[in-house]
């Protein structure tokens, strides 16, 4: 496991770290925490006491190092499950770094502070109908070209097709699935998509 946290994004990371350290069988844990200074570090002492946390200070010491340079020290990063939480610009920088090194996003857990936008403006206007195949349910449905402003979940429901869901805002992960082939816009991380806030963007779309 590799935790990558910044600022108040430490709160879920610290809770999970404490839980993991209390287990009889200790997991292989690496922990990166970006914070302004030692004085402005949340849980500074208990985190330091675990001996597991690599602190990175944005206002001193490491200020000149890029995030990519700092994360490059985790030489086995591609083999680790990553837990990411922090301010939006930090998360986006980490996601870009992970995409650049071809990290498998199926292994990423990401904490969101706010729902990702599922604005219809993210939808791509298509000239042709879209056929969506749901492999796990062994069924297909069609989204007409006029309805590609609907999220994939909305389009499925309009056809009487049930898909797992919860919050409908991209927060809970209940609808999470993988793209086998095709393209979407909206809420996507690597092959992982959230149909409640993603839109079909190719004539054919195969989902797990
Ligand atoms: S239904 Fe909650 S993330 Fe899609």
Q: Quick one: pLDDT band at residue 114, thresholds 50, 70, 90?
A: low
Tokens of 16: 């999970």
Mean pLDDT of the chain: 90
The verdict on the CB of residue 152 being under 6 Å from ligand 1 is: no
The verdict on the CB of residue 30 being under 6 Å from ligand 1 is: no
Nearest CA to ligand 1 atom 3: 170
Per-residue HEC secondary structure of 5-33 comes to: EEHHHHHHHHHHHHHHHCCCCCCCCEEEE
The verdict on the CB of residue 167 being under 6 Å from ligand 1 is: yes
Q: Where are the domains of the chain?
A: 2-110, 120-207
Give me the mean pLDDT over the 35-52 stretch. Answer: 94
What is the pLDDT, as a whole number, of residue 18? 95
Return the CA Rg of the chain.
20
For residue 167, the tally of other CB atoms under 10 A from its CB is 14
Distance in Å, CA 170 to ligand 1 centroid: 4
For residue 126, give the DSSP letter. Answer: -
For residue 116, give the DSSP letter. Answer: P
Give me the mean pLDDT over the 91-96 stretch. Answer: 88
Do 2-110 and 120-207 agree at the fold level? Answer: no
Q: Picking from 12-16, 55-59, 74-78, 121-125, which range would have the lowest pLDDT averaged per residue?
A: 121-125
* Cα–Cα dist 111/118, whole Å: 17
Q: Which CATH number fits domain 120-207: 2.40.50.140, 3.40.50.2000, 3.40.470.10, 3.10.20.30?
A: 3.10.20.30
What is the pLDDT, as a whole number, of residue 105? 84
Percent residues over pLDDT 70 in the chain = 96
Distance in Å, CA 150 to ligand 1 centroid: 15
Q: Report the atom number in ligand 1 closest to the C-alpha of 168.
A: 1
The verdict on the CB of residue 115 being under 6 Å from ligand 1 is: no
What is the pLDDT, as a whole number, of residue 120? 66
For residue 93, the tally of other CB atoms under 10 A from its CB is 18
Q: Quick one: pLDDT band at residue 119, thresholds 50, 70, 90?
A: low
The verdict on the CB of residue 174 being under 6 Å from ligand 1 is: yes
Looking up tokens 């030489």 gives 75
The answer to whether residue 96 scores a pLDDT higher than 90 is no
* Cα–Cα dist 66/89, whole Å: 13
- Sign of the dihedral through C-alpha 34, 35, 36, 37: negative
The answer to whether residue 199 scores a pLDDT higher than 70 is yes
CA atoms within 13 A on the CB side of 105: 19
Q: Quick one: pLDDT band at residue 127, thresholds 50, 70, 90?
A: confident
Annotation: CATH topology of 2-110: Rossmann fold (3.40.50)
């Amino acid at each position: 496991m590799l935790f990558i946290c910044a600022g108040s994004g430490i709160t879920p990371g610290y809770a999970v770290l404490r839980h993991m350290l209390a287990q009889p069988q200790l997991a292989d844990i690496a922990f990166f925490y970006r914070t302004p200074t030692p004085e402005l570090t949340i849980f500074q002492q208990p985190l330091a006491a675990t001996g597991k946390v690599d602190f990175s200070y944005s206002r001193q010491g490491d200020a000149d190092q890029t995030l990519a340079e700092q994360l490059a020290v985790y030489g086995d990063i591609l083999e680790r499950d990553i837990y990411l939480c922090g301010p939006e610009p930090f998360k986006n920088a980490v996601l870009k770094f992970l995409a650049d090194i071809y990290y498998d996003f199926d292994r990423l857990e990401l904490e969101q502070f706010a729902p990702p936008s599922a604005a219809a403006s993210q939808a791509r206007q298509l000239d042709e109908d879209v056929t969506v195949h749901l492999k796990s349910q062994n069924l297909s449905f069609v989204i007409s070209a006029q309805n590609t402003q609907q999220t994939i979940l909305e389009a499925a429901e309009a056809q009487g097709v049930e898909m797992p869901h919860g919050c409908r805002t991209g927060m809970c992960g209940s609808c999470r699935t993988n793209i086998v082939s095709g393209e979407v816009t909206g809420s996507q991380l690597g092959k992982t998509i959230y149909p409640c806030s993603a839109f079909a963007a190719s004539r054919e779309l195969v989902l797990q």
